[in-house]
Structure 1
Amino acid sequence: MNQIIRKNPTTLAAPVGEYSHVTVIPKNSTLYTFSGQIGIDQENRIPESHTKQVENTFKNIKKALESEGLTEQNIIKVNIWSVDEIDWDHFYIVWSEMFPVNPSMTIAYISALGLPEIKIEIEILAAKVD
């Protein structure tokens, strides 16, 4: 095995969203952990809109990946924390532009993040097959 494999075992119910239940990383891969990204823009502003924060967060994830020579194909796990209800129609439009394949994912609604104006934070793990 020399590639990242994503799968949904038939012994589990189908995913309720656009993600994979299992992601397999081959031996001798390099694992990358990224801090949670928030919806801050290039001018260090955090927009009030949850949907705009979602868009900025995905842009920041893409930039973090690029800084290591990685692409969305390298993402193996996504953790999402949101203080507001997610507009899933909007979220999946942005998601589908970001993720050509569906990594493993966890979503949690929480009461607060690091600053009061932050509405969503998304953390990724990535792997590069050596």
Structure 2
Amino acid sequence: MIRRWSPDAVAPPIGRYSHLAAVPADHELVFIAGQVGVLEDGTLAGPDAQSQTRQVLANIDKLLASLGAGPESLVKLLTMVAGAEHLPGCRAAMQEAFTRWYPEDDWPAHSLMVVAALATPELAVEIEGVAAVPRR
């Protein structure tokens, strides 16, 4: 089981994340490339950060399912938002997913960056991750 925690020696997290995450020896790390908010047919889920973030997280959920895993297997996430104006929508969608995925508040390590732009102008959010899955 992945262990996540935030020691008392540092300030508590300022959001929904843990400061540390450790992976058991009988697991392998799987790196999830940056996911964007596109549907299965390759079209954008919507023009706004909230709809794109919802789709990004749905895509990550599907990728984890293909490994026989779920969101509980996430060790680390990195969220990139193309401009501060997209933060509210991104955060709202993240909160929806994290409330569903982590009802016990056992969140993965997570960093968020505001960047000037992503790969194409219509993209508002990109999220990459690291998951730990039991060795097969």
Which segments of structure 1 move beyond 4 Å, counting only runs of 4 or more? none
Using the alignment, how far apart are the partners of 1:30 and 1:62 within structure 2?
A: 18
RMSD: 1.5
Q: Distance in 2 between matches of 1:127 and 1:109?
A: 26
Instruction: Work out the CA distance in 1 between the residues paired with 2:36 and 2:110.
Output: 17
Q: Structure 2: which 5+ residue stretches go unaligned?
A: none
Q: Which residue of the partner structure matches residue 124 of structure 1? A: 129
Of 31, 34, 39, the residue aligned with 2:32 is 34
- Return the alpha-carbon distance in structure 2 between the equivalents of residues 42 and 99 of structure 1: 25
Kept in 1: contact 2:50–2:92 (CA 8 A): no
* DSSP-derived class of the 1:15 partner: coil
8 Å contact kept, 1:39–1:120: yes
Moved more, 10-19 or 23-32: 23-32
| Residues in 2 aligned to 1:89 and 1:56: alpha-carbon distance in whole angstroms | 13
Report the Cα offset of residue 90 of structure 1: 4.3
Residues in 2 aligned to 1:118 and 1:56: alpha-carbon distance in whole angstroms: 12
Give structure 1 stretches of 5+ with no counterpart: none
> Does the 8 A contact of 2:79 with 2:111 survive in 1?
yes
Q: In structure 2, the residue corresponding to 1:34 is in which secondary structure?
A: strand
**14-23 or 87-96, larger mean C-alpha shift:** 87-96
Secondary structure at 1:40 match in 2 = coil
The CA deviation at 1:20 is 0.3
Quote the Cα distance in structure 2 between the aligned partners of 1:50 and 1:7: 29
Give % identity. Answer: 26
Corresponding residue for residue 112 of structure 1 = 117
The answer (yes or no) to whether the contact 2:78–2:112 under 8 Å persists in 1 is yes
Equivalent pair of 1:38/1:121 in contact (CA under 8 Å): yes
Task: State the aligned residue count.
Answer: 128
Per the alignment, residue 99 of structure 2 pairs with 96
Q: Give 1:52-67 correspondences, 5 Å limit.
A: 52-67=51-66
User: How far did residue 57 of structure 1 move?
Assistant: 0.6
TM-score (norm 1): 0.90
More helix, by proportion: 2
2:82 is the counterpart of 1:83: yes
